[in-house]
Amino acid sequence: MKEKLLKEFESRFGTTPAFYASAGRINLIGEHTDYNGGFVFPGAIDKVIMAAIAANDTDKVRVFSVDINEYVEFGLNEEDAPEQSWARYIFGVCREILKRGGTVKGFDAVFAGNVPLGAGLSSSAALESCFAFALNDMFNNNSIDKFELARIGQSTEHNYCGVNCGIMDQFASVMGQKGKLMRLDCRSMEFEYFPFNPEDYELVLLDSVVKHELKDSPYNKRRQSCERVAKRLGMETLRDADMDMLNAIKTDITAEDYFRAKFVIEEKDRVLAVCDALNRGDYETVGEKMYETHAGLSKDYEVSCEELDYLNDIAKECGVTGSRIMGGGFGGCTINLVKKDQRDAFVKTACEKFEAKYGHAPKVYPVVISDGAHKEA
Ligand code: GAF
């Protein structure tokens, strides 16, 4: 990827760039908990967005997306926002750095990636984090701390891309470390690295190839439901809510809001149960919790789809230890915790059954937990 970017950069701009990359992410458990002040358990993966970048001594940003084969040029003022959605991520990152008093000058960039788009692996967070990290290094002497880089990506989603997301994806993309998952408390932002290298199990992603697009999806509505219930409980977020409190207000809220909040309250506890289980090496419990998450996301939070439910059913039938929708939902991947000696048979059965029903096999991605945002040597 680096050679391809260098060639493209040199032929377009004729200067010498530096290279930066940031990663997509998986999440073992803790879905839709980030914007509710709860816990998440993500890790960065070996699929990245990489950019070749150099300052250009102008007040313009000039960017070429190799994968989309499109060139965009914009200034750094609010009114210069580009139309193209991919370019708005980069524009947003520039604006959010400037809004925080940081420096961004004109630059040239060429970028490409191998994070599957719309698969729930956070290609957009990888793009934001790659540019936030690069611009911090190039123009700000790395004075912006890593949490703030993640927040810059999150604010970009909120203010320029229409997705009112939590902090998980950008956090994972920036802070990820090879071989380690991270348990993040999204209220205090305290986090802990968890080495994740089970001897007998592995994680496999099955991509339903149902396009997952959070903008204009009911993602923002899910968040509004949670906020309404929290407000009704007199709390800032659902972090401190429990089922007794929720049941006490059941008749004052809509059935829909009740089930949304129920999922979040239960999911919060599942993350902690999974951490305990991991500490004991008890992968059976980890797997059970993953199935519970899937059921909750499908029935109570209603962010699944037929194809993902089918993949989950197949996993259960094959005796896979744990399986669930991963990420925001509405399409994308299931994440599967499977015994190494069952992996091939499971993947084969899942591909055959899925293809027989939907006319195409799911895409299969092994999970390799890797480093987050960095400058390439
Ligand atoms: C998406 C969002 F971007 C995250 O913030 C998170 O809410 C996730 O959906 C669901 O856990 O990836």
Distance separating alpha carbons of residues 167 and 172, to the nearest angstrom: 9
Domains of the chain: 2-196+371-375 (3.30.230.10), 201-367 (3.30.70.890)
Tell me the CB-side half-sphere exposure of residue 284, using CA atoms within 13 A: 0
Mean pLDDT over 325-347 rounds to: 95
At residue 280 the predicted structure's pLDDT band, cuts being 50, 70 and 90, is very high
Instruction: Classify the phi-psi angles of 8: left when phi > 0, otherwise alpha if psi is within -120 to 50, otherwise beta.
Output: alpha
Ligand 1, atom nearest to 166 Cα: 5
Residue 210's pLDDT is 87
Q: Is 187 in contact with 360 (CB distance < 8 Å)?
A: no
Kindly report the average pLDDT of the chain as a whole number. 96
More confident residue, 242 or 120: 242
At residue 211 the predicted structure's pLDDT band, cuts being 50, 70 and 90, is confident
Tokens of 3: 């050679």
Cβ neighbourhood burial of 113 (10 Å; 0-12, 13-18, 19+): buried
Placement of tokens 């703030």 in the chain: 148
The alpha carbon of 169 and the centre of ligand 1 are apart by a number of angstroms equal to 7
Mean pLDDT over 293-302 rounds to: 97
Residue 212's pLDDT is 64
Residue 377's pLDDT is 86
Residue 179's pLDDT is 95
Mean pLDDT over 346-365 rounds to: 97
Closest residue by Cα to atom 5, ligand 1, is: 166
The alpha carbon of 372 and the centre of ligand 1 are apart by a number of angstroms equal to 17
Closest residue by Cα to atom 1, ligand 1, is: 328
Distance separating alpha carbons of residues 334 and 311, to the nearest angstrom: 7
Helix (H/G/I), strand (E/B), else coil: 327 = coil
At residue 117 the predicted structure's pLDDT band, cuts being 50, 70 and 90, is confident
Residue 240's pLDDT is 94
Examine the pLDDT at 108 and tell me if it is beyond 80: yes
Residue 294's pLDDT is 98
For the chain, percent of residues with pLDDT exceeding 70 = 99
Examine the pLDDT at 111 and tell me if it is beyond 70: yes
Mean pLDDT over 52-75 rounds to: 97
In degrees rounded to 5, what are phi and psi of residue 110?
-130, 135
Closest residue by Cα to atom 2, ligand 1, is: 165
First to last CA, the chain: 14
Mean pLDDT over 64-70 rounds to: 96
Mean pLDDT over 156-171 rounds to: 96
Ligand 1, atom nearest to 32 Cα: 11
Catalytic, 207? Answer: no
| Strand arrangement, sheet containing 201-207 | 322-325, 333-339, 201-207, 363-366
Q: Ligand 1 pocket by C-beta < 6 Å: which residues? A: 31-32, 34-35, 122, 165-166, 168-169, 327-328
Mean pLDDT over 232-251 rounds to: 97
Examine the pLDDT at 214 and tell me if it is beyond 90: no
Residue 216's pLDDT is 63
Dump strand ranges (E) for 208-354: 322-325, 333-339
Q: Is 308 in contact with 334 (CB distance < 8 Å)?
A: yes
Q: Is 187 in contact with 35 (CB distance < 8 Å)?
A: no
Examine the pLDDT at 177 and tell me if it is beyond 70: yes
At residue 119 the predicted structure's pLDDT band, cuts being 50, 70 and 90, is confident
Mean pLDDT over 264-283 rounds to: 94
More confident residue, 215 or 44: 44
> Which one, of 334, 299, 300, lies nearest residue 316 by Cα?
334
Say which DSSP state 240 is in.
G
At residue 215 the predicted structure's pLDDT band, cuts being 50, 70 and 90, is low
The alpha carbon of 6 and the centre of ligand 1 are apart by a number of angstroms equal to 33
pTM: 0.95
Helix (H/G/I), strand (E/B), else coil: 48 = strand
Distance separating alpha carbons of residues 189 and 192, to the nearest angstrom: 10
